[in-house]
Structure 1
Amino acid sequence: FFFAMSLITPVFLLVLCLGATATYRSEFRPVAGHFEKGLVSSALPHTYTDFSALPQAWDWRSVNGTTYTTRTLNQHIPQYCGSCWAHGALSALADRIKIARKARGNDITLAIQYILNCGTEAAGSCHGGDHLAVYDFITQTGFVPFESCQLYAACSAESKEGTCKYGNYECSPINTCKTCSTFKDNGGVCNAIEIFPNATVKEFGRVHGAKHMKAEIFHRGPIACGINANKILDYKGGLVDVPDAGREIDHIVSVTGWGYDADAGKQYWIVRNSWGEYWGEMGYIRVVMGDNQLGLEADCAWAVPGSWTEVNFPCTEDGTNCQKGNRTQ
């Protein structure tokens, strides 16, 4: 599968996701013949937005008392994995599904591990990847399973960290959706599930610049954005205002809204990281808006959900004998 890299940067960058105790390094993977792309069939929000009418603050975590964001994740357990690009992209997509469902029912969370298992060539691995390529990969394959199909293992096929060297993370039916019937000593086996709950992507693309980002977030939901992680490794709270800091992207996050700091007299981005809730402000960070600080406004990706499973495809407990179900939007 082919994936697009940003025209904003002069080289093709494969983003390396940094952890709070990691040594800074950037990982590049030049890939000839890949250009900016997307799948756009409807009007982009910035073309119909009255920017003067946008609110001073907008936070999808609480809109009229309703939470439209999904949970904060930690990419670094059970061992380190540079999968921020997949976390940022799928967290934003899951948020948008929740918005489309009007926060009805249980949250739908998506299988990041499936992207690591099957999207290595197209999108990335534990050694880095690209947020837009996640959406491209989903449109190419036609789906992303729900998280209950593949729990996050923080592994990809080439990773030798921790437990990764003992497992099989190559793309296969069982590494797409699976369940295990009982203990191996009792004759149990793990089976691939043929028919499983999943979600799709209808449109995707890139957005950059504060005004266009605000329009996209306000009208359609959170987005996945690149950021320079150097100045946030030790972040413990407060407003990040570092106009002289580097803007080279080495990490991916999701932006869920914006706010206004009356003391500073500045708007800021509300950013969800994938380092767990022990970090920052319960896993979030606030970055001053409008000057592309930390490179946050340079390279963002969005996706419009297509369909998602609302009524399951019932299978027996061991994952066999699945019956065809219904998928509704």
Structure 2
Amino acid sequence: MKFSTLIISLLAASMAADEGDARRISEFVMLEGHTVTDNYFSPLPHEYIAEEDLPKEWDWRNVSGHSFLTHSLNQHIPQYCGSCWAHGSLSALADRIKIARNAVGDDINLSIQWVLNCGGGVAGSCWGGSHTGLYEFVKAQGFIPYDTCMPYLACSDDSDEGFCSAVDTSCSKHNVCRTCSTFASKGGTCSEIDIFPNATVAEYGTYNLLSWNRVHKIKAEIYARGPVAAVINADPLLEYKGGVIKDGGLLDMIPDHIVSIVGWGVDESSDEYWIVRNSWGQYWGEMGFLRLLTGRNLLGIESSVAWATPGQFTVANNYPCGEGGGGCGGDADQTNGPHTTQFYKDPSLDIEAVQRSLKEGRHVSL
């Protein structure tokens, strides 16, 4: 067993054993079907970006006046669902797709509900999951549909919250991508769509407490390739109203939640902090974000940080269907990827461009 697998498993097991708050469950769960926490071959960003070359501050919400983040989400509506692991992991992946496109075109948002429908044995459900489990699942499937195929319902087959008991969340073709033509009273039907825009995962991996100089590694990863998914203990965040979290009593807490880290900054006291996106809606925290000190593992945020790179993703309406989902053209086999695609170029393929961007204080999309 790799050290990263061991660390993640121990963290998840510790949290499960430590649950005592009746209000919350641990949403960070390692499932038995999840066996591969690291699957990559490209050089990691810290191998070609020196710590002293990184900018003092970096925030993907504002790079030269442009945001490279997709829209924020709320995992708790239309009913409660412990799917933070899917929100944090997929928002980071979608942000990386936006970065790869240099923020050109409509945002590509990935289907959390499809993962809830189909990824229960590896990725997770409304009762919890893991960031690396999600990345393993999507890579193994060979695709993930966009959320216009299967929007978020906050339901999985093991949840009976709200209207979930009346919703079909089985992993059928109907629950991968579908649309409805008109009202049933007008003769309308709902149909599965066989050919649909989708994205893939090329590589994924982790940084954890055993990672030497982990802050440098996490920052280099964020700068070079985009936001990352990270575990955290959410209990002290329930009533968070803003500001930089610095409480030394929050060191090395056992994580039970997953968020994404989108950058870092420095406050008026010259203390460096992580910029973290949560999945509790924009009414919470600092418009859905929080800040906390780097390098201290506050709330356990540096104990298991996961990243994934996209492989390819649909950028044009390749084989359009009719409004009711019929009349689609082309090869329906999605395992070989979408037909009209953009292929991701890892920054390690053009290290000179990365070095130029660091010197010029900007980011270069490859």
Indicate whether 1:303 and 2:317 are aligned. no
Partner of 1:327: 341
Closer, same or farther: CA 31–92 of 1 in aligned 2, 3 Å: closer
The residue type paired with residue 200 of structure 2 is T
Closer, same or farther: CA 305–174 of 1 in aligned 2, 3 Å: same
The residue type paired with residue 303 of structure 2 is A
**Cα distance, 1:317 vs. partner?**
1.2
Structure 1, 186-195 or 317-326: larger mean CA deviation: 317-326
Residues 97 and 310 in structure 2, CA contact (< 8 A), matched pair in contact too: yes
Closer, same or farther: CA 322–128 of 1 in aligned 2, 3 Å: same
Partner of 1:238: 243
Structure with the higher fraction of residues in helix conformation: 2
1:251 to 239, 247, 257: 257
Partner of 1:90: 90
Structure 1, 179-188 or 21-30: larger mean CA deviation: 21-30
The residue type paired with residue 310 of structure 2 is P
Question: Equivalent residue of 2:52, what SS?
Answer: helix
Q: Deviations over 1:204-260 (max 9, x none)?
A: 111232121011001110000000011111001111112212510100000000000
Partner of 1:267: 272
Closer, same or farther: CA 253–29 of 1 in aligned 2, 3 Å: closer
**Cα distance, 1:186 vs. partner?**
1.5
Partner of 2:348: none
Indicate whether 1:165 and 2:165 are aligned. yes
Partner of 2:178: 178
Closer, same or farther: CA 159–9 of 1 in aligned 2, 3 Å: same
Partner of 1:112: 112
Residues 12 and 30 in structure 1, CA contact (< 8 A), matched pair in contact too: no
Partner of 2:134: 134
Question: Equivalent residue of 2:12, what SS?
Answer: coil
Indicate whether 1:315 and 2:321 are aligned. yes
Indicate whether 1:225 and 2:230 are aligned. yes
Closer, same or farther: CA 217–22 of 1 in aligned 2, 3 Å: farther
**Cα distance, 1:318 vs. partner?**
1.1
The residue type paired with residue 198 of structure 1 is N
Give the distance between the partners of 1:130 and 1:34, measured in 2 at CA.
9
Partner of 2:24: 24
Give the distance between the partners of 2:295 and 2:28, measured in 1 at CA.
27
**Cα distance, 1:158 vs. partner?**
1.1
**Cα distance, 1:10 vs. partner?**
5.8
**Cα distance, 1:5 vs. partner?**
7.5
Closer, same or farther: CA 235–8 of 1 in aligned 2, 3 Å: same
Residues 260 and 267 in structure 1, CA contact (< 8 A), matched pair in contact too: yes
Residues 73 and 281 in structure 2, CA contact (< 8 A), matched pair in contact too: yes
Give the distance between the partners of 2:32 and 2:143, measured in 1 at CA.
27
Indicate whether 1:155 and 2:175 are aligned. no
Q: Deviations over 1:277-322 (max 9, x none)?
A: 0000000000111111100011011011110001122011111121
Residues 75 and 274 in structure 1, CA contact (< 8 A), matched pair in contact too: yes
Residues 5 and 130 in structure 1, CA contact (< 8 A), matched pair in contact too: no
Structure 1, 238-247 or 161-170: larger mean CA deviation: 238-247
Residues 125 and 156 in structure 1, CA contact (< 8 A), matched pair in contact too: yes
Partner of 2:12: 13
Q: TM-score, normalised by structure 2?
A: 0.83
Closer, same or farther: CA 232–194 of 1 in aligned 2, 3 Å: same
Structure 2, unmatched stretches of 5+, are 209-213, 331-338, 344-366
Give the distance between the partners of 2:32 and 2:136, measured in 1 at CA.
17
**Cα distance, 1:189 vs. partner?**
1.1
Give the distance between the partners of 1:190 and 1:176, measured in 2 at CA.
13
**Cα distance, 1:180 vs. partner?**
0.5
Give the distance between the partners of 1:27 and 1:71, measured in 2 at CA.
22
Question: Equivalent residue of 2:67, what SS?
Answer: coil
Give the distance between the partners of 2:32 and 2:307, measured in 1 at CA.
24
Give the distance between the partners of 1:33 and 1:172, measured in 2 at CA.
19
Partner of 1:191: 191
RMSD between superposed Cα atoms in Å: 2.1
Give the distance between the partners of 1:101 and 1:194, measured in 2 at CA.
26
The residue type paired with residue 229 of structure 2 is A
Closer, same or farther: CA 30–123 of 1 in aligned 2, 3 Å: closer
The residue type paired with residue 189 of structure 1 is T
Give the distance between the partners of 2:28 and 2:96, measured in 1 at CA.
30
The residue type paired with residue 232 of structure 2 is I
Q: TM-score, normalised by structure 1?
A: 0.92
**Cα distance, 1:328 vs. partner?**
2.9
Give the distance between the partners of 1:139 and 1:110, measured in 2 at CA.
14
